[in-house]
Amino acid sequence: MTLSNKKANCGDQIDRISDFPSNVIDGILEHLNIRDRARTSILSKKWRYIWTSFPRLEFDKEFFDLYDGDSDQEDFVDHKPNISRFITEVLLLHNGPIYKFTLFMHRHFNIKIEFLVKWILFLSRKGVKHIQLVNNTYHSYRMPSHLFSCQELTHVRIRHFNMSVPPNFRGFKSLLHLHLEQIKFELGALESLISGCPLLEELCILNCSGYECVDLSASPTLKVFHIEYNHAIKSICLEKANSLIDLTLIVYRDGVSGLNNILPKVQRLTMGLDSKMLYADVIHPTPLICLKYLKLSTVNLEQREELLHIVSVLKSASNLVELVMETCCDKDYKTEVPDHAEELDCSSYCLNQLLTVNIKVKTNFKHVMSLIRFILANSSSLKTLTLDIDLGYKKSDVPILFGISRDLLWMERASQRAHVEVLHQRIDYDFKDYRYY
């Protein structure tokens, strides 16, 4: 054996990974799934227990996919005891705090409630700050009461659970972000939960049930509020939500109080109404000086008064950058371009900051062309306006489409760089894309 070969063999035996700085080790573990982290214990003696002190545990979709693989549903269900046992062993072996815990429950994986209770109890003693419990099964679990003992929580996301708040709940004094989806609340549970979070900055309530009102009076620090609620909800109180800058309201009845008091400070606004409601009855004339993003769904532009109100809203939003609008569909309305378009003020240049517009129309063009003419004439910085048309699949609609295209080409534009895109569905169910510059 030559001297160079001896040196090479000696070099191969050097332990290069045991002396990695702690930040490098953390970076490696962060990019591994939970099973591969456990496997790092065989790398060296120093690495044997490193994974047990990593402060983030994610049993996410990727983790369950490792068991799922290419097997069928029946094979996957057979892994249920192994999965629960593995999660339990990982928690019991863990040494140190757990700052983030994620549990993504596969739709075919129904765990026993006693396992879930034990896991949440264990986390309540580990100083958990960020917890995600996403239930994608067909079974709705009752949320273990131990969750409300996790006093250091800052981020919570929960999906598809039944929830009641224990009477000894002392609140989440550090909670900043709360995301609730498909939660069935017991009476008074949501109100108790929100009132117990004095530092809350972001609140999302999506497709939940079991509550009649949402009162944000106890959330003066709230900056982001998203809610999509069902027909049973009677009221939403925004009276003291003076810090809101991002607001999403999908409502089906008139019951929002304090909205127009907080709108001048809102930067992002997304709204959707019942098709029988008008924005003129919800958004009152007020300066929207901070508004940069506006999305309005189910806009009834058949009503002339609604068109004029939408225009007044746009005029009050002088700093608007992006506009998204979807008109509602009247099944009895005959598709046609109106002979006489509504005359609107096209000389004020009131939308100087507007860059992007996306308008989706469903078979109804009454007043839409007037609105587009107004936007093009008053947006000196506009880059793109997209008109997405759903005409159905009738050949008789083709001349109407060409008429719309012709009118768009002739419209005056305050921005020389603005171009209009027209998207529509063809009879063969494919998508056709016309662009006009």
Go through 84-112 and write b for each residue having 16 or more CB atoms within 10 A of its CB, e for each that does not.
bebbeebbeebeeebbebbbbbbebbebe
Tokens of 199: 């530092």
Q: What are the backbone dihedrals phi and psi of residue 323, each rounded to the nearest 5 degrees, phi first?
A: -125, 130
Q: Between 47 and 280, where is the model more confident?
A: 280
Close Cβ partners of 325 (under 8 Å, ≥ 6 residues apart): 295, 296, 297, 299, 310, 357, 358, 359, 360
Task: Give the CA count within 13 Å in the CB-facing half-sphere of 120.
Answer: 21
Average confidence (pLDDT) over 7-12: 50
Average confidence (pLDDT) over 310-336: 81
Instruction: Give Cα 426 to chain centroid, integer Å.
Output: 31
* Per-residue pLDDT tens over the stretch 74-83: 444 445 567 8
Give the pLDDT band of residue 70 (cuts 50, 70, 90). Answer: very low
DSSP symbol at 295 = E
- Whether this model's pTM surpasses 0.95: no
Mean pLDDT of the chain: 82
Contact between 216 and 192 (Cβ < 8 Å): no
Nearest alpha-carbon partner for 188 in 210, 217, 160? 210
Give the pLDDT band of residue 396 (cuts 50, 70, 90). Answer: low
3-class SS shares of the chain: helix, strand, coil, % to 5: 30, 25, 45
pLDDT greater than 60 at residue 10: no
Give the pLDDT band of residue 302 (cuts 50, 70, 90). Answer: confident
Given this model, what pLDDT does residue 5 score? 52
pLDDT greater than 70 at residue 222: yes
Amino acid at 90: V
Given this model, what pLDDT does residue 434 score? 47
Strand-by-strand arrangement of the 256-257 sheet = 213-215, 235-237, 256-257
Average confidence (pLDDT) over 312-336: 80
- In angstroms, the CA 169 to CA 142 distance is 16
Q: Between 362 and 265, where is the model more confident?
A: 265
Given this model, what pLDDT does residue 8 score? 45
Given this model, what pLDDT does residue 231 score? 66
